[in-house]
Amino acid sequence: MAEFNGGGHWHLDAVFYQVYVRGFKDSSRDGNGDLRGLIEKLDYIESLGVSCLWLMPIFPSPLRDDGYDVSDFLEIDPSIGSLADFQQLTEAAHQRDLRVITDLVISHTSDQHHWFQKARQGPDSPFFSYYVWSDSDDRYQEAQVIFSDTEHSNWAWDHQAKRYYWHRFFSHQPDLNYDHLPVQEAILDVMRFWLDLGIDGFRVDAVPYLFEREGTNCENLPETHAFCRRMRRLIDGEYPGRILLAEANQWPDDLVAYFGAGDEFHMAFNFPLMPRLFLALRREDNRPLIDCIETLPAIPADCQWATFLRNHDELTLEMVTDADRDYLTSEYARDPRMMLNVGIRRRLAPLLDHDRRRIELLYSLLLSLPGAPVIYYGDEIGMGDNIYLGDRNGVRTPMQWSDDRNAGFSSADPSRLYKPVLTDPLDNYQTVNVAAQLRSPASLLHWLRHQLRLRSSQPVFSRGEIRFVQVSCRSIVAFTRSHRGTTALLVHNLAATVQPVHLELEAYAGLRPVHFSGNHGFPQIQAAPYFLNLAPYESLWFLLEPA
């Protein structure tokens, strides 16, 4: 196991598959997906061409925030399996060359965690200082309320402790007090526990909010970065080869700070890029994308972005201007039910009106722009959502494996399922499912597997420098990726109409674009603009080779 984890820098070339274990495959017929079910599906995951699983929280939890409300950091939720199942999963995954990371929720616990239960007993409890208490609810007024649709304050009254406690998310998720050193030690021990079990790293949840200081918005404080460096020292010193991936929904400068000087996180989600992919597509305009990538500060060597289109949360619109937020909301969330907090709670396919060309275009950008792509379970088959389920549950419905009972997800009685399968006319599991797409060579699933294979055949995609190519019309986004003498040219049409375009490729005069399909028929590049014609939403992937 140690040898497997030890393969350095694997995260640079990784492709992640995000799995909601409860929604993936039920092996025990209780209506909940579980670790054994996930093990059964490892062949499928391997066949996708991804290299690392990211498991959403698997710890015991009252499930008031789908496991992000942890009541015990050192166990597996019994509805999902056992520690033995977990070990079996990591071993089975490693045998297939797949790595496994899990969510690590460090900023808060559930109010059911025994730390909080004991802390509530008052200042004499050894756990009292594990949480942030106050006699009044007016401290840290500058801190934003994140779950603004549900919470009105970051303070909640505890009847037993007769004090207010601090929480950045739901009021049943009290924040841990990182000023209290035993909390830091306890969290480092939680990390060791899972790392000893063979885990390859963590997606660290809600990183910016670890400390509170009056007069600040209580995000990204220097003390928070100091603790991130402690986590990293633990990894480097005791578990080299494992990785830390930051969830920090922040503007570029604050976000890039989580890479530190290469001494904090190995990876961070590219939150600024994600909404701009949707913006560029809808506006048929390359500017939001190019501006975003060109203005992102450089990240240290051996660090990597994690890029994504969708995940288990709402499509957050915090990292765009007010005008762009209004535009994205009006274009992508036409029904108010589609909104939650500052985001859109929809899956990829419904966001794009189930338009296969637009889905492929966004995937093509995701796979060819810098970063390690993260694919959300079900989005590889264009699964739909259910906006009539509350909170973010509509994008967490059971994986659609086949047209069998409960979409092949579970053989429990349908009414026992943790959430209903999709049955509406557009997204129903009888039509949208893995088995059907495996049978159809033209399916989205086959297309995506093929693209992922192409991507992994060329290190330019994961390691190459990006350079945008000047184009004669703004609905085309064209760039090169170059690494160790190999250059790929990627051209995308963001428009719903056919687009003729001139590309300024003089720097590559004498080379010939060879399409990844093997087509050598494209003309050699000359010392004059290169002409291409792109179909609506078309993407072209070329290698530039000597003529």
Question: Torsions phi, psi of 481, nearest 5?
Answer: -125, 125
Residues 88-107 that bind ligand BGC (CB under 6 A): 105
Residue 511 in contact with ligand BGC, rule: CB under 6 A: no
Q: Which is nearer to ligand BGC, 63 or 412 (CB)?
A: 63
- Interface residue with ligand BGC, options 59, 68, 155, 227 (CB under 6 A): 68
Burial of 516 per CB tally in 10 Å (0-12, 13-18, 19+): middle
Residue 258 in contact with ligand BGC, rule: CB under 6 A: no
Q: Which is nearer to ligand BGC, 158 or 313 (CB)?
A: 313
Can you say whether the dihedral through the CA atoms of 141, 103, 346, 394 is positive or negative?
negative
- The minimum distance between CB 169 and ligand BGC, in angstroms, equals 4
Question: Torsions phi, psi of 307, nearest 5?
Answer: -105, 150
- The minimum distance between CB 148 and ligand BGC, in angstroms, equals 13
User: What is the residue-wise DSSP string for 348-366?
Assistant: HHHHTTT-HHHHHHHHHHH
Nearest to 186 by CA among 109, 263, 262: 109
Q: Which is nearer to ligand BGC, 207 or 495 (CB)?
A: 207
Do the Cβ atoms of 408 and 430 come closer than 8 Å? no
- The minimum distance between CB 145 and ligand BGC, in angstroms, equals 13
Residues 325-344 that bind ligand BGC (CB under 6 A): none
Question: Torsions phi, psi of 370, nearest 5?
Answer: -60, 145
- Interface residue with ligand BGC, options 24, 116, 128, 169 (CB under 6 A): 169
- The minimum distance between CB 543 and ligand BGC, in angstroms, equals 37
Which residue is it, tokens 């009290």? 174
Q: Which is nearer to ligand BGC, 206 or 342 (CB)?
A: 206
> Per-residue x/- mask for ligand BGC, residues 424 to 463, rule CB under 6 A?
----------------------------------------
- The minimum distance between CB 146 and ligand BGC, in angstroms, equals 8
In 137-288, the DSSP E strands lie at 155-158, 163-166, 201-205, 243-246, 267-269
Q: Which is nearer to ligand BGC, 18 or 400 (CB)?
A: 18
Q: Distance (Å, rounded) from C-alpha 183 to C-alpha 187?
A: 6
Q: Which is nearer to ligand BGC, 105 or 534 (CB)?
A: 105
DSSP letter at 241 equals T
User: Is 314 a catalytic site residue?
Assistant: no
Number of amino acids touching ligand BGC (CB under 6 A) = 9
Residue 143 in contact with ligand BGC, rule: CB under 6 A: no
In 283-428, the DSSP E strands lie at 304-308, 315-316, 339-340, 343-344, 372-376
Residue nearest to ligand BGC (CB): 68
Can you say whether the dihedral through the CA atoms of 499, 514, 355, 330 is positive or negative?
negative
Q: Distance (Å, rounded) from C-alpha 547 to C-alpha 541?
A: 17
- The minimum distance between CB 313 and ligand BGC, in angstroms, equals 5
Residue 77 in contact with ligand BGC, rule: CB under 6 A: no
- Interface residue with ligand BGC, options 26, 247, 360, 538 (CB under 6 A): 247
Q: Pick the catalytic residue: 111, 205, 264, 385?
A: 205
Residue 119 in contact with ligand BGC, rule: CB under 6 A: no
- The minimum distance between CB 344 and ligand BGC, in angstroms, equals 15
Residues in Cβ contact with 292 at an 8 Å cutoff, skipping those fewer than 6 apart: 272, 273, 276
Do the Cβ atoms of 349 and 379 come closer than 8 Å? yes
Describe the crossing of helices 287-295 and 273-283 by its angle, rounded to 10 degrees. 160
Residue 314 in contact with ligand BGC, rule: CB under 6 A: no
Q: Pick the catalytic residue: 247, 264, 385, 391?
A: 247
Strand partners, 237: none
- Interface residue with ligand BGC, options 313, 318, 331, 404 (CB under 6 A): 313
Do the Cβ atoms of 333 and 365 come closer than 8 Å? no
Burial of 533 per CB tally in 10 Å (0-12, 13-18, 19+): exposed
Do the Cβ atoms of 131 and 174 come closer than 8 Å? yes
User: Is 285 a catalytic site residue?
Assistant: no
- The minimum distance between CB 523 and ligand BGC, in angstroms, equals 48
> Per-residue x/- mask for ligand BGC, residues 202 to 221, rule CB under 6 A?
---xx---------------
Residues in Cβ contact with 378 at an 8 Å cutoff, skipping those fewer than 6 apart: 347, 399, 400
Residues 459-498 that bind ligand BGC (CB under 6 A): none
Summarize as ranges the residues that interact with ligand BGC (CB under 6 A).
Answer: 65, 68, 105, 169, 205-206, 247, 312-313
Catalytic residue positions, numbered: 205, 247
